[in-house]
Amino acid sequence: MRSLVRFQLAPHVDFPPGFFDRADPSPDAAFYRPLRLVTHIDDGAIAAVGALYDELGVGIGGNCEVLDLMSSWVSHFNETPRRLTVLGMNDDELSANPQAQTRVVHDLNVDPVLPFPDDSFDAAVCCVSVDYLVQPIEVFTDVARVVRPGGQFVCTFSNRCFPTKAIRGWLYSSDAEHGEIVAEYFRRSGGFDEPVIERRTPAGHLGDPLWAVWGTVVRLADA
């Protein structure tokens, strides 16, 4: 029963042992080898992702160099960023992404260091995938390295996942706690200001719910 094995998660407290374990610890390369040209959330949730990017100005105007982390064949931008780099596990899915200019296959659970120079992007996004990271704080720290100061990192998520590949701490936490978990990744990475947590689909929304957590890159010299 989920309720019997809940993790006692409180902000600013260490993640308990086993939090980042997964039911299937085998290499992600094998799991993501089959082509999945599907959408992982419904149209209403996808629209909420695009609306948030618009609202935050991600990919728009001067914020046109964007990294989509843990990407596939869709990136959900209403307006295609002038330079969109997509990073994920399946080359064929990334190649089918019509908004991408640059495609990179890279396993963040093998190497959380991003294969990009410092200050490469105006912003980064990660849609419905943060729950698969086994070293999220290292990844978030590196996102703050490759995104220019003042740029945003926007994580969105719903209540669906590949359960064998999601970390245990995510599976045994509530939707509200997921926001706190991701916010804590931002805080512990040390590279962002205080993150914002928001439910982006209205309460009572009948389709897939959509939450977002985002923060702005702050370098030590700026803090």
Closest to ligand SAM by CB, 129 or 173: 129
3-state secondary structure of 18: coil
CB of 127 to ligand SAM, least distance (A): 4
Q: What are phi and psi of 131, to 5 degrees?
A: -70, -5
Closest to ligand SAM by CB, 127 or 144: 127
Closest to ligand SAM by CB, 74 or 217: 74
CB of 112 to ligand SAM, least distance (A): 9
CB of 41 to ligand SAM, least distance (A): 7
Cα(184)–Cα(180) distance, rounded to whole angstroms?
6
CB of 125 to ligand SAM, least distance (A): 8
Question: How many Cβ atoms are within 10 Å of 33's Cβ, its own excluded?
Answer: 12
CB of 198 to ligand SAM, least distance (A): 18
One-letter amino acid at 14 equals D
| Positions in the binding site for ligand SAM (CB under 6 A) | 28, 32, 40, 70-72, 74, 88-90, 107-109, 127-129, 132
CB 173 within 8 A of CB 146: no
Burial class (CB in 10 A: 0-12, 13-18, 19+), 107: middle
Closest to ligand SAM by CB, 100 or 127: 127
CB of 223 to ligand SAM, least distance (A): 29
Give me the residue label for tokens 């990334």. Answer: 94
Cα(25)–Cα(27) distance, rounded to whole angstroms?
7
Closest to ligand SAM by CB, 145 or 193: 145
Cα(79)–Cα(77) distance, rounded to whole angstroms?
5
Closest to ligand SAM by CB, 49 or 183: 49
CB 199 within 8 A of CB 164: no
Cα(136)–Cα(123) distance, rounded to whole angstroms?
18
